[in-house]
Every structure is written in structure tokens, then in C-alpha cells.
Structure 1
């Protein structure tokens, strides 16, 4: 086989001009997320952010995550506008539980061939998530890698950094028997358990575009983006003492709540204490999934857990409601008498 007279990077499948167009497309959306601490953002080799002088002993808190196989559903439905919110939510909610205020976020978008319109939709969603979290989108990486991904598919990763006053780090070490467990409502499955979701869809072949919950279709419910709890909970921390928080992600309620508990206590939750979104009932019935497996796989309607003194519970629920969050008292902290599991749901 003879070679052409010249070869270019574009001949090999990488379109630098497309990447440049994407950067120009996303600059206005990133600009809306800027914070006073940001010294340089999109376009440089690195983003520069100073730490606010309001912190006496600042501690940086970092987190990273992806969207997982929810992306496969996004490809099937050709819906790319909300997975960026999922990406931000997975990381900022994680660092929030230690009391951190998210400062900035970076994304990694990888594909085989760059579709500028699709990538723009995704990164617009990332910027929207950053606005919800109050953090700055200061940069990222777009990697076009021919032959690495099937046509029309991409992968996402995100990285968040926040800051907390050292004396205000939430560790869970002060959690005691008698404390109350509050649960904040989720938007749905958020970004966890989608391998099981997709298995159920493959087996049952439902009409994803049929009306399912009021005016929302089944696809709408399955693609609902991760709820970002940053601003309401940062405000709550300013007014009331919080002993522990858990972001309910992979592993569901049964695996995430124990991550913040001292070894001598257990959380006993009442599964009837909150309103379970219809999507979880549908998944359980369509997939014939046992209830404990549901609690181990999905958030089942609770996206964030807060543990605090019961004297503050009523005020906390009211304040969260003023920020548009629905919260319930879903359980209590009890002594752990043996080697029983640290979260039980009845």
C-alpha cells in the first residue's frame, strides 16, 4: 500500500480544529461559574485558584468520580444535557459530607471522534452543575482517541476540590445513641445502579417514551440528574451542628451510612418514613429485585443522610424546606451490641 504525499493528525482521526471549536463553545458557560478566588481558568495549562482569607486553617478536600453506565442510556436516548450535572453531583456531594465548600471542578471528556455539538451539550451540563454547587469550572481535558470508543460514545470523569476550616471538619466521631437520622429526597436513581437498570430494561423492553409519572416519561425519570445538595447544606451547617453526613451513592443506604458511623453504634432506619419515588417501585417489580438488594444498590429516594442531635431535627427540616429540599426523620442511632450490621432498614 502506498502512502499519500503527506499525513496529518486529522488523517489519523484527531481533529484539532474541532477541539478548538469546543473550547470556544464552552467558554461562556464556564465564565458563569467563576468565583473570586479563581486567578485563571479555561485555556491555560493549569487553573490557578487561591484560598480565601476567611479560612484560618484551611484544609483541602478532593473527590473524583464518573457517571458510570448511565451514559449507555444517554447514548441510546440521545440525551446529553444532564449527564454533566450527574458528573458534578457525584464529586461535590462527596466532599460536602466532610463539611467542605466546593471551590473548583475539572472534567475529562474522552471519545473516539469528537462531535462538537454533543460535547458542548455535555459540558453545558457540567457548567450548570457547577453553578448549582457554587464552584468554578476552571478547566478540563478533551481527549479524542480514534478506535478507543465505539462511534457516538464517550466517557466522563470529574474532579472537585473544596475547602473546610480544620476545626469544622465533619468526621462522625461525635455520633451517639439517641441521635436522629434525617434523609433528604433524591431526584431518582441519580448515577448509581444503572447496570441493573439497563439489565431490567433489556429483559422487559419497556417503552421508555411512554408517560410514566404524571407528564414525565420513563426516560425522563431514569435520566433525572443527580440532586446537588451543596448550597442548602452549607447554609444548614452555618446555623445548626451536624454530626455526620453520608452521600448515598454506589452501595445504597446499606453501604454508605456505615461509612460515617463510629464502630459502637448502628443506624436503624424506617423504610416507611419517606416517600419512595415510583421509579424504584417499578425497578423492584419489573426486575423482581429483593427489597434488601434495592437498599444495597439504589438510594431508594434518599440522596443524602444527615445525623444530628434530635433537638435540632425540626428546625433542620424546616430550614431545608425553605431551600426547596424535602427531608424526613428516617431513623435513629442506637447502641451496637455485637457484630451486627451498622445500618438496618425495617
Structure 2
């Protein structure tokens, strides 16, 4: 008969009771995001969601993403709630590009040692992001994986499903020379370029706690990603002929602005049309980053862009301003090879 001590999952570093307690704690938060179409959410093996009745020929649009190495700054500074908003934003802004309405969202939270307070803050942020986007948080997965992650580390991934009327899909096919490009401001670097950000901080010996403008460097770098869903969908539903859209993420303005452009046209961007947020000037100066690299890595103050016929631009700008955004004309569509030129 063996005399070895009986081992449990907890001995291996996994606390089942803590995981169950987290689910119980977040159920109310999750329910606060639900739409009428949610039939069953957190607690089951799968969420049940019906399609909104207003769609005659509904097309589902899906998107998945993470937060990237911005997580490291959030973990080290203890500012984690905004990371949940980032997670939702990176997914819902992507599906929005097709003109789609985000319907529901699921998250995946993996950690070395489950800390219910930290996990709860992250999920609270996810719920906030879902409310901002008008989609339901219907479930997710919390995985405690000792040996794969360090105790205080965690990773995030998200998945969003959206819906759009087939006849109203925005795919850029109508974009033509002379159309105007309208930009919407970012709230900072959003969730892209943070490996370079962290390198700049490391090489310069900077801390996220050091003073920057009216707060700290961490405040500027960890500002949650702007969610553009509600005002942009309202603009589309108002009848404005939004011909194409771009979410400015990894690859920056250079790599994203023309992703929806048809062959034969490109973008001419007027760099004098906006003042870059100070955090980008700081990063460029501290890292001696070349201008082309800045445009290729960071959004440089442009979080989202739309292509609109010139005759409808004034009305579109007025409507977006009513939504408390600060849009501006950043350029126009020109003949080209789906490229971006700066003037």
C-alpha cells in the first residue's frame, strides 16, 4: 500500500473553488450587458443567442484579437480594468468596418495563479466595453495554468460576432477618386506598438509613474482603446453613404488605411490636418524613431477612418460632432496602387 501523500488539484496550483467563486461574482456584471436576443449565457456549456428580427438577410461577421504586450504595462502598474475595454475594442472596431452591429462577445482569461480581484477588474472592464459597443458578454473561459504563466501574469483573448444586412455590407467596392477620408481621433496608442513602447521605456530608464502632462506616463500609455461602434453605426443608418472604413491598428496608418480600397486608387493624407497627441511625440523623441516607422507602427492619433462622398462630408462631420467625437477631414482618395501618400 502506498504511503505517498494524496495530491489534489490545489496542490498542483489550481484552485477550483476560486474559479467557481469568480463566476458567481461576475454573473451580475455579465447580465448587465445582455441584449434581448440572449437566451442563455454564463453558466452553461455554451451561450444561446438569437438573431435580431430587424434583419431580413442577416450576415454574421466575426472577429478575434488580444491586447498584446500592453498587458505587461497594465500588470506592472496595477491598472488592469482598462485592458478589458481594450480587448473588446480591438474586436468590435474590426467588425464595425463591414458596417456590422456587434451582437455578442466572449473572452478568454489565462493566468498562472487566479487572483479574483484582478480577474474581476479585467472582466468588469470587458463588460464596460461591451456596453459601450452595445453587445452582450455571453460567456468566456478562465484558465489557471501554473507552470505556463508566472503567478501574477495573465493573458487575454476575445471573440466577437456581429450581424449586418446583406445588402448593406460595406466592402469598399464603391470607393472612387475624389472621395473624402474622415478621421476619428484615437485615445492614445490603443493596443498596438507596445513592444516598441516598452523598449523605449527600458532603454531610457523611464517609469510609468513619472509625470506626463496632467497625469502620469502610465495614464497616457494605458488609456483604453476608443470604441467607435455606436456613433459610426448611427451615421451609417442615417443614410450617409459610408463607402469604406478602416480600424487603424497594427501597421498604423500606412498599413491599414487602404485595406478596404479597390484596385486603382490610393490615399493622400494631409499631415497638417491634425496635431498628434503628445504621447506620440514623446515616444518618437525618446526612441529616436523615424517618421516612417512611427506611421508604420502607431496610429499617430487616428483611431478609425471612413471614406465618404465629398457632397456628404459636411453633414457627416456635423453628426459625428453631435456624438461628442472630434472628426476631421484627413485626406482624399486619389489614383494609385492601394497605397498611402503623405503630404
User: What's the TM-score once normalised by structure 1's chain length?
Assistant: 0.97
Alignment of 1:1-346 (within 5 A): 4-213=4-213, 215-239=214-238, 240-336=240-336, 342-346=339-343
Alpha-carbon distance in structure 2 between the residues aligned to 1:345 and 1:231: 30
For residue 5 of structure 1, report the CA deviation from its aligned partner.
Answer: 3.6
Alpha-carbon distance in structure 1 between the residues aligned to 2:275 and 2:99: 27
Q: Which runs of 5+ in 2 are unaligned?
A: none
Question: Quick check: 2:201–2:207 contact (8 Å CA) kept in 1?
Answer: no
Alpha-carbon distance in structure 1 between the residues aligned to 2:315 and 2:139: 39
TM-aligned CA distance change 1:7 to 1:257, over 3 Å: same
Alpha-carbon distance in structure 1 between the residues aligned to 2:170 and 2:207: 44
Q: Deviations over 1:178-208 (max 9, x none)?
A: 0000000000000000000000000111242
Alpha-carbon distance in structure 2 between the residues aligned to 1:32 and 1:272: 43
Alpha-carbon distance in structure 2 between the residues aligned to 1:53 and 1:43: 26
Q: Deviations over 1:199-225 (max 9, x none)?
A: 000011124223312x22111000000
CA RMSD of aligned residues (A): 1.1
User: What's the TM-score once normalised by structure 2's chain length?
Assistant: 0.97
Question: Quick check: 2:185–2:301 contact (8 Å CA) kept in 1?
Answer: yes
Q: Deviations over 1:240-289 (max 9, x none)?
A: 11000000000000001121111100100011111210000000110001
Q: Which runs of 4+ in 1 moved over 6 A?
A: none
Alpha-carbon distance in structure 2 between the residues aligned to 1:156 and 1:331: 35
Alpha-carbon distance in structure 2 between the residues aligned to 1:3 and 1:54: 66
Alpha-carbon distance in structure 1 between the residues aligned to 2:274 and 2:165: 33
Tell me the SS of whatever aligns to 1:260. Answer: coil
Tell me the SS of whatever aligns to 1:279. Answer: helix
For residue 134 of structure 1, report the CA deviation from its aligned partner.
Answer: 0.4
Alpha-carbon distance in structure 2 between the residues aligned to 1:107 and 1:238: 29
For residue 312 of structure 1, report the CA deviation from its aligned partner.
Answer: 1.0
- Number of aligned residues: 341
Alpha-carbon distance in structure 2 between the residues aligned to 1:118 and 1:281: 32
Q: Which runs of 5+ in 1 are unaligned?
A: none
Alpha-carbon distance in structure 1 between the residues aligned to 2:206 and 2:108: 33
